[in-house]
Amino acid sequence: MVYGVINLDWWFLEMTAVFFVGALVIGFIYKINETVFVETFIKGANELLSVAFIIGLARGVTILMEDGLISDTLLFYASSFTEGMHKGLFINAMMFVYSGLTFFIPSSSGMAVLTMPIMSPLADTVSLGREHVVNAYLLGIGLFNFINPTGLILASLAMIKVGYDKWLKFVIPLVLILTLLSIIFLTISVYL
């Protein structure tokens, strides 16, 4: 699949075919009963359906924002606000914006589809490479996912019977340390 994407211009259709054929090969090698294989395959596809809806919805919002020139308007006003801003301040502000957005958009792929068309060109206004935007995105959503009540934390805590308040007391010091390290990392990376 990696070879196909890099060298043969494969995209979703071809990657889907690779995963499907891979599943069939695994089922054949391990001699999985057809009924069990089909039920397991459907169960796995069913779990991905909500992700597909979120990505589709986010892509629809992105198209509306682009066709309605909303993205251009947001970029215009945001770029006038960030013009002349120091790179270190900008990239750290972006990380905190992504952390905040994670509360409203818990899907990381949906967040990427929705925000990258705005955030990436915005980084151009302060002469930042787009790889820094990706780092701020990953660190921002990663940090907030430790405490995000709209993500998987509440379900995970319920499975192991740990209260959310107890989890917060345990994890907040770690989140603060990781936030400080992330700020240092992002600041150094934009000036190298």
How does pLDDT run across 46-58, given as a tens digit for each residue?
877 776 777 777 7
The pair of three-digit structure tokens given for residue 71, joined into one six-digit string: 């993205």
Model confidence at 91: pLDDT above 90: yes
The better pLDDT of the pair 88, 117 is held by 88
Q: How many CB atoms lie within 10 A of CB 169?
A: 10
Percentage of residues in the chain with pLDDT exceeding 70? 96
Task: Tell me what pLDDT residue 75 has.
Answer: 65
* Cα–Cα distance for residue pair 110/19, rounded to 1 Å: 21
Q: Tell me the one-letter amino acid at 79.
A: S
> Any idea where the domains of the chain sit in the sequence?
69-191
Task: Tell me what pLDDT residue 188 has.
Answer: 96
Contact 191, 88 (CB under 8 A): yes
The better pLDDT of the pair 60, 75 is held by 60
- List, for residues 4-15, the tens digit of each pLDDT value: 888 998 888 888
- List, for residues 128-185, the tens digit of each pLDDT value: 988 999 999 999 999 998 998 877 788 788 888 888 999 999 999 999 999 999 999 9
Average pLDDT on 99-112 reads 82
Spacing of C-alpha 112 from chain mean position: 5
The better pLDDT of the pair 100, 178 is held by 178
Q: Give the model's confidence band at 89: pLDDT under 50 very low, under 70 low, under 90 confident, else very high.
A: very high
- List, for residues 14-38, the tens digit of each pLDDT value: 888 998 899 899 999 998 998 998 8
Average pLDDT on 76-90 reads 79
Residues across the chain: 192
The pair of three-digit structure tokens given for residue 53, joined into one six-digit string: 């809806």
Per DSSP, 32 falls in state -
Whole-model pTM?
Answer: 0.68
Residue entry with tokens 């958009």: 105
Model confidence at 90: pLDDT above 90: yes
CA-CA-CA-CA torsion sign (143, 149, 153, 157): positive
